[in-house]
Chain A
Amino acid sequence: MLGEERRAGHEGALTEPPSSRLVSPDIRDEFGLETIDMNMGPQHPAMHGLLRLILELDGETVVRCDPVMGYLHRCQEKIAENRMYPAVIPMTDRLDYFANMHNEHGYCLAVEDLLDVEIPPRAEYIRVLMCELMRLASHIPSIGFLMLELGAFTPILYAFRERERIQSIFEAVTGARMMFHYIRIGGVKADLPPDIPQKIWDYVESLEAHFKRDFVDLIEDNEIFISRTRNVGKMTQEQAVEMGVTGPALRCTGVDFDIRLDYPYSVYPELQFEVITDTAGDVEASYRVRIGECLQSIQIIKQCLEQMPEGEVLGDTGRRIRPAEGEGFGRIESPRGEFAVHVVSDGSDTPYRVHYRDPSFCNMQLLQEIVPGHYLPDIMPIMGLIDPVSGGWDK
């Protein structure tokens, strides 16, 4: 378990459970206390996107927190019913825009479930390599965002420096820095350029060397960070699973559910890596889980580069992708949790129905349950625990 020995003797600043700070409505009526209704509106510099939180505050304590979504709703599921199967892939890029490769991969897995295409092994390895690079490019900024919302302005710039380097690798491989349209039905679009594996290897080695200095040393033992994040947003395993939380937010409570190991897909059965969990279930635990997952991703990338076979990169799907009638399901582990796609086909060129189960959407239910009882400034670290992306919850 991570962090157990560090916690001994230091409870952080929250020594009693948040629910003890809530005053019951009868007492409030008796003393004539009122609550303020406040809006942390859609326009907010620290809201992880366009989210409106309707808050009811009793002084600084949040009594009720109600997320209102829909400010970035782009009707992706409706539009996908009117596009041919390969043309839906650029739209999946724009779902959770910090995990583009994972969205594409999930959708392609669902469609390949409907078809009967064989994916070449080199394509599988390239898919996993790209997904793990994307996981690095998503976890490191999420640590930066956590620190930005706590008030430290510097780690986010270090994080984006790493993301820029990863994005330039993606640009060399796929041609785009952010919306890749690279993973196709049956494989990937094109092979890696010949010098890229060496560049990825060098980058990953250098990242491993200075990762601790940049993202762990200045944050982990910082007294202010500990008192702002320890025991804040604390969940039990029961609570987390009941609310449908998956991903690092669930693993930080101690449940070791990782789709790469429990519902394996692609070439993950052939790769060696661990699932990082922490028992505490608070914001600091989620920070540690993300740090551990970054280091595990580096190991996976190295193994992919070593084990990658030669061969083709796109399987033979025929000229038009026209699956038989039926349903296809794909489920992958995105940096935020479980991303599942359900594709229904009616035998024509366009899907009949596409549904995305996005982890940001499901993890946001935490806000309604966990936040009441915390102080107003604690909402930001709890959003850092959930780490939602607005393209995800709004589709």
Chain B
Amino acid sequence: MQTVLNLLEVEPIRLLISFGAVLFLVLNLAAILTMAERKVSGYIQLRYGPNRVGPRGLLQPAADVFKLFTKENVSPGRSDLWVFLGAPIAMFIPAALVWLVVPFAPDAVVADLNVAILFFVAITSIGALGVVMAGYGSRSAFSLLGALRGAAQMISYEVPLILSLLGVVMLAGSLSLVDVVRAQGDTIWTWYFLPQLPMFITFYVSGIAEVKRVPFDLPEGESEIVGGFMIEYSGMTWALIQAAEFASMAVMSSITVTLFLGGWQPPLPFLDLGPFNWVWFGIKTALIMFTFQWIRWSVPRLRMDQLMDLGWKVLVPLTLVWLFVTAGLMLLFPSLGA
């Protein structure tokens, strides 16, 4: 027994096992999120969500997964098959890889990189590639439109995404996510969402845009281009795209929590759970994911030019101004920085 535990300390094995565990968590989370989405949307729309399969419908994801495994994977006749089939994989890999650096608890990080924020930014940028591959590989007019919109949107919203986390980097003095969490004090009013409120809002909004959810779901615009870049996918390929979308929604929520809401830290010191602080991390991430869903079922979607206007003309100047404000305040009050 002792040798097995000693083996877990050895570096490559520890990485593989913990990444395997995180990946298992992420795939299950994607399935559970489909269920949560349907129940939340149901209750907002004054109806029950699925409530037949299992007690109160809780086994619905199992039924969904079973159905999708047995469904035929149809591809359009003149599609470019390698690109078409590679696109869901190219969408899922970035969403899964970022989980390598997410800190669940003080010692529970798969890879405690000291350039974790840079890693996060770099890997999420690859997500745009998967969208373009899906749209190009499908060779149909609707998916082409969806892919172009998706690429433009994701690339445009990376700029405010990155700018908004620079304030946090300045305050924490480090690019490592573990250091950022430790640098936010252990009370709710010292977490970074208060001093960096415009940045928090920008990061949140850009996160919604990166994940392509309403109000930014024009690449998937259900009303005009019926599924956009994923219109030609069915069966397990579609399921992988959906899993990628939910996994990236979860990863955006968890990074938001890590950067702005104190990571694994409880709101007040006496609520500290010691080694079980990942419960706080889970609660906060679930709260942010719930707000993503709440917004989805409440507001209409923006049109493409309005979406671009919001990104470039509103969010980017806001973040630049606040960067200067943060830098200025740090010069004036040197105790602000770590």
Contacts and interface: CB of A to CB of B under 8 A. Distances in A.
Interface of A: 13, 36, 38-40, 44-46, 60, 147-154, 157-158, 161, 218, 222, 224-225, 227-228, 375-380
Interface string B223-250: 1111000000000000000000000000
Contact of A38 (B141, B222, B301, B303): B141
B277 interface: no
B226 A375 contact: no
A140 B223 CA distance: 19
Interface stretch (B72-80, B112-120, B170-178, B213-221): B213-221
A380 B224 contact: yes
CB-based closest 5 A-B pairs = A151-B301, A150-B300, A46-B223, A157-B45, A152-B300
Given A36-B141, A38-B141, A154 B300 contact: no
B145 interface: yes
A142 to B, nearest CB: 15
B47 A157 contact: yes
B135 to A, nearest CB: 13
Interface residues of B, number: 29
B223 A153 contact: no
Given A36-B141, A228-B300, A377 B224 contact: yes
A151 B214 contact: yes
Contacts of B332: none
B309 interface: yes
B302 A228 contact: yes
Contacts of B145: 38, 60, 376
A154 B298 contact: yes
B287 to A, nearest CB: 21
B145 to A, nearest CB: 7
A377 B47 contact: no
Contacts, number: 88
Contact of B302 (A60, A149, A158, A224): A224
A222 B225 CA distance: 24
Contacts of B305: 13, 60, 375
11 contacts: A38-B142, A40-B224, A44-B226, A151-B214, A151-B217, A151-B299, A151-B300, A153-B45, A376-B145, A377-B304, A379-B224
Contacts of A376: 145, 224-225
B304 A60 contact: yes
A46 B217 CA distance: 16
A45 B226 contact: yes
Contacts of A378: 303
Contact of B299 (A44, A45, A148, A224): A224
A39 B217 CA distance: 21
Nearest to A229: B300
Nearest to A227: B306
B134 to A, nearest CB: 18
A157 B46 contact: yes
A380 B302 contact: no
B283 interface: no
Nearest to B215: A224
A152 B299 contact: yes
A310 to B, nearest CB: 40
B289 to A, nearest CB: 18
Given A36-B141, A38-B141, A46-B223, A150 B301 contact: yes
Contacts of B221: 151, 377
B218 A377 contact: yes
A45 B227 CA distance: 11
Given A46-B226, A151-B300, A152-B298, 17 more contacts: A36-B141, A38-B141, A46-B222, A46-B224, A60-B145, A148-B223, A150-B300, A151-B217, A152-B214, A152-B300, A157-B46, A157-B47, A161-B46, A227-B302, A228-B300, A377-B218, A379-B224
A28 B54 CA distance: 59
A102 B25 CA distance: 57
Given A157-B47, A377-B218, A222 B300 contact: yes
A228 B301 CA distance: 8
B290 interface: no
Contacts of B303: 13, 227-228, 375, 377-378
Interface in B5-55: 41, 44-47
A36 B143 CA distance: 13
A376 B45 CA distance: 28
Contacts of B141: 36, 38-39
Nearest to B140: A38
Contacts of A39: 141
Nearest to A157: B45
Contacts of A225: 300
Contacts of A158: 45-46
Contacts of A40: 224
A78 to B, nearest CB: 34
B90 to A, nearest CB: 25
Nearest to A380: B223
A54 to B, nearest CB: 12
A377 to B, nearest CB: 5
B34 to A, nearest CB: 16
A380 B310 CA distance: 22
B8 to A, nearest CB: 46
A243 to B, nearest CB: 23
B231 to A, nearest CB: 11
A140 to B, nearest CB: 15
A154 B44 contact: yes
A153 B47 CA distance: 13
Contacts of B218: 377
A71 to B, nearest CB: 17
A45 B222 contact: yes
A158 B46 CA distance: 8
Contacts of A154: 44-45, 297-298
Interface in B82-98: none
Interface centre among B297, B306, B309 (most CB of A within 10 A): B306
A224 B307 CA distance: 10
Nearest to B304: A60
A380 B303 CA distance: 11
A224 B300 CA distance: 6
A151 B301 CA distance: 5
A382 to B, nearest CB: 12
B76 to A, nearest CB: 15
A380 B301 CA distance: 12
B92 to A, nearest CB: 25
Nearest to B144: A36
Nearest to A39: B141
A66 to B, nearest CB: 16
Contacts of A36: 141
Nearest to A151: B301
